[in-house]
């Protein structure tokens, strides 16, 4: 491998399938063995980096050693209703680290955007990642709780399978419970469907209250889990019932564990038998709070 300090970094304007596949392969290699290890596909990369409403691609910096991608960093352009754009990465080939390539990638995309930025969730067990952002002048904006639970028998659930008017249901829940701006709320279900992990069978509904729980089944070479990605409900009883239904769904799907990531008080999850297993941090640049 060439000296990472001399590797060229380019800003790409085309997020095509081949590029997404290259980004996914490197991302999968870099998270293997960590708490955020999960399947990373080209479709997942495309979904996470593309503006759902406009279809605009990200601000994307890619480093190559010859034909091989050795690092990348991207900013997904903010959706309507989002105060900040989301930073993804830097993702750097392990053998190319400690040579300032990550810093160069980060600075390239920061210099190319004009809107406030926030990082994706950085697990606290990734000490190097936290130190990287701190040394780069970023500050902690938010702390996120990570919880795990065991699949178990529980109450049956109403799923999104065969539900008519599902787009309107999800949009209404987004406006009412998640505080999403109308056009962003309306794009929620299409964004979810763009994720290869999405299935109508794992979108749980509570029609009397208009509440929902989005769960995603994730499998990789070392294990499987049901990720509780969103719980939108105002009533604690409804939230806990939906979480219990998710555990029953996990048992039905024969996954090894249930995982939840929340910025809110985790009491509804711990009341359902889940245990806190870690924390994630999000970072922002000073002055962008």
With beta carbons less than 8 A apart as the criterion, state whether 240 and 110 touch. no
> Which pLDDT score is estimated for 147?
94
Residue 108 phi/psi, 5-degree rounding, is -60, -45
On whether the pTM is more than 0.85, the answer is no
pLDDT at 30: 84
pLDDT in tens, 19-48: 999 999 999 888 776 666 667 888 878 888
The residue-averaged pLDDT of 254-283 equals 93
Q: Which one-letter DSSP state was computed for residue 197?
A: T
| Topology match between the domains 4-120 and 147-278 | yes
Query: pLDDT digits over 193-229, tens only?
Result: 877 788 999 999 999 999 999 999 987 666 789 999 9
Is the confidence at residue 173, as pLDDT, over 60? yes
Determine the pLDDT at residue 36: 66
Give residue 249's pLDDT band: very low, low, confident or very high (50, 70, 90): very high
Q: Where are the domains of the chain?
A: 4-120, 147-278
Rounded to 5 degrees, φ, ψ at 68 are: -95, 130
Token digits of residue 86: 């989301």
DSSP string, 111-140: HH--S-EEE--EETT-HHHHHHHHHTT-EE
Could you tell me the CATH superfamily of domain 4-120?
Gcn5-related N-acetyltransferase (GNAT) (3.40.630.30)
Answer positive or negative: Cα dihedral of 118, 61, 13, 45. Answer: negative
Q: According to the model, what pLDDT value does residue 104 have? A: 94
pLDDT above 90: percentage of residues in the chain = 59
Q: What average pLDDT does the segment 258-287 reach?
A: 92
Q: Which two tokens stand for residue 187?
A: 């794009």
Looking at the structure, give the CATH architecture of the domain made up of residues 147-278: 3-Layer(aba) Sandwich (3.40)
- Which carries the bigger pLDDT value, residue 73 or residue 95? 73
Q: Is the pLDDT of residue 287 over 80?
A: no
Average pLDDT in the 142-151 region?
94
Query: C-alpha dihedral over 31, 120, 286, 104, to 10 degrees?
Result: 50
Question: What residues are paired with 68 via a beta bridge?
Answer: 65
| 289 pLDDT above the threshold of 50 | no
Given pLDDT bands bounded at 50, 70 and 90, which one contains residue 125? confident
| Nearest residue to 149 (alpha-carbon basis) of 212, 216, 243, 240 | 243
- Confidence (pLDDT) at 31: 78
pLDDT of the residue at 35: 65
Q: Is the pLDDT of residue 62 over 60?
A: yes
Question: Which secondary-structure segment (H or E) carries 249?
Answer: helix 236-253
Question: Mean pLDDT score of the chain, rounded to an integer?
Answer: 89
- Report the pLDDT averaged over residues 176-187: 89
Strand partners, 87: 75, 119
Dist. CA 47–CA 54, nearest whole Å: 13
């Amino acid at each position: 491998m060439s000296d990472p300090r001399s590797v060229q970094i380019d800003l790409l304007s085309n997020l095509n399938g081949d590029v997404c596949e290259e980004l996914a392969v490197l991302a999968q290699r870099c998270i293997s063995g960590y708490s955020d290890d999960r399947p990373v596909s080209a479709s997942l990369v495309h979904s996470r980096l593309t503006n759902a409403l406009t279809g605009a691609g990200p601000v994307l910096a890619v480093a190559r050693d010859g034909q091989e991608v050795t690092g990348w960093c991207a900013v997904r352009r903010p959706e309507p209703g989002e105060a900040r754009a989301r930073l993804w990465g830097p993702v750097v080939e392990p053998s190319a680290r400690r040579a300032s390539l990550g810093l160069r990638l980060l600075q390239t995309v920061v210099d190319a955007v004009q809107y406030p930025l926030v990082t994706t969730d950085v697990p606290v067990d990734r000490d190097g990642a936290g130190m990287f952002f701190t040394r780069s002048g970023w500050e902690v904006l938010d702390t996120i709780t990570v919880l795990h639970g065991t699949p178990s028998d529980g109450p049956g659930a109403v799923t999104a399978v065969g539900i008519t008017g599902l787009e309107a249901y999800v949009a209404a829940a987004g406006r009412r419970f998640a505080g999403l701006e109308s056009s962003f709320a309306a794009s929620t279900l299409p964004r979810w469907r763009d994720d290869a992990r999405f299935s109508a069978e794992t979108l749980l509904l509570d029609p009397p209250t208009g509440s929902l729980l989005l769960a995603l089944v994730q499998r990789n070479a070392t294990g499987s889990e049901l990720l509780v990605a969103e719980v939108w409900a105002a009533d604690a009883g409804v939230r806990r019932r939906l979480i219990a239904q998710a555990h029953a769904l996990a048992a039905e799907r024969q996954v090894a564990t249930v995982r939840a990531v929340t910025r809110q008080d985790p009491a509804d999850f711990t009341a359902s038998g889940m245990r806190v297993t870690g924390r994630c941090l999000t970072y922002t640049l000073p002055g962008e709070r």
